[in-house]
Amino acid sequence: MSRLGGAATTAEMKSAEVTESKLQLLSGITGAFRPGVLTALVGVSGAGKTTLMDVLAGRKTGGYIEGDIRISGYPKNQKTFARISGYCEQNDIHSPQTTVREALIYSAWLRLASEIDDASKTAFVEEVLELVELKQLENALVGLPGITGLSTEQRKRLTIAVELVANPSIIFMDEPTSGLDARAAAIVMRTVRNTVDTGRTVVCTIHQPSIDIFEAFDELLLLKRGGRVIYAGELGHYSQKLVDYFQVRRSSLCHKRYPPFPNEVSYLILLNWFTTCHVR
């Protein structure tokens, strides 16, 4: 009896076998990021902003990645790419016992090529301190978040600086204004803009930015839930190119009636529209 029972159990298990399905996080992503251009990756939670940026940066080691990533027209080589790119985490992790200058020196000496002499490395640290506007705080202890040392906004700028001293051509930033009030966010975005103005390629994920923060960007890659692109391209002056594009799309895809987009509130209306219309 026990053998028959065992056989039945095995048969039941086989009939109830579950085939593991693949979850597709990104679909049909096409876009380009250019030197000297600040690009925003925007989308609702779960749209795949950070996932896309991690794929581009080579930080995703699990799952399946299909497609083609090119750098200046050449297929991406991760070993080479790692030397020319930087990644600013959303969580600012720094040693609390170091000063601002020491944090940059450690990063520069560990990451810059050994062929670069100490004088050049020191000069580069000085240049970055000026660029991120932390020169006056160079001897301040980093401290613990929310307890001692640097403020949240200053820590964000230090995170950017630690990547800059490695002299990357491409920098990815994961929500650099997260957790900041309007004034602090504006200061961080000024640092981001200073970085872009050096000719670097900068890509930022941004979650629900204010109008002022949104208009600091040059181009936009907008994702909807499911990892699909809604818009990829220039924003234009006061986001006019984005507004013009969605005026046309809205009329063909959404039956709700809205007044024309005023430039000053265009982004807020667009956010509302995304939640009420199905964009294909």
Q: Residue 149's domain spans which residues?
A: 28-235
What's the rounded Cα separation, in Å, for the pair 213 and 48?
A: 21
148 secondary structure, DSSP code: S
pLDDT the model gives residue 14: 44
pLDDT the model gives residue 237: 81
What's the rounded Cα separation, in Å, for the pair 106 and 123?
A: 14
Is there a domain that residue 175 lies in? yes
Is there a domain that residue 126 lies in? yes
Give the model confidence (pLDDT) of 6-29 as tens digits. Answer: 344 444 434 445 455 678 788 888
**Count of beta carbons in the 10 Å neighbourhood of residue 89:** 13
Distance of CA 158 to the CA centre of its chain: 17
Give the model confidence (pLDDT) of 253-271 as tens digits. Answer: 554 544 554 544 455 455 5
Q: What is the tally of structural domains in the chain?
A: 1
Is there a domain that residue 85 lies in? yes
What's the rounded Cα separation, in Å, for the pair 30 and 229?
A: 8
Report pTM: 0.81
Q: Which residues of the chain have pLDDT under 70?
A: 1-21, 61, 248-280
Q: How far is CA 152 from CA 143, 163, 205, in A?
A: 11, 17, 18
Residue 273 contacts residue 249 (beta carbons within 8 Å):
no
pLDDT the model gives residue 127: 96
Is there a domain that residue 127 lies in? yes
CA-CA-CA-CA dihedral for 234, 86, 84, 204, to nearest 10? -10
Is there a domain that residue 21 lies in? no
Is there a domain that residue 269 lies in? no
Is there a domain that residue 158 lies in? yes
Is there a domain that residue 134 lies in? yes
pLDDT the model gives residue 243: 76
Q: What is the CATH number of the domain that holds 134?
A: 3.40.50.300
Residue 219 contacts residue 42 (beta carbons within 8 Å):
no
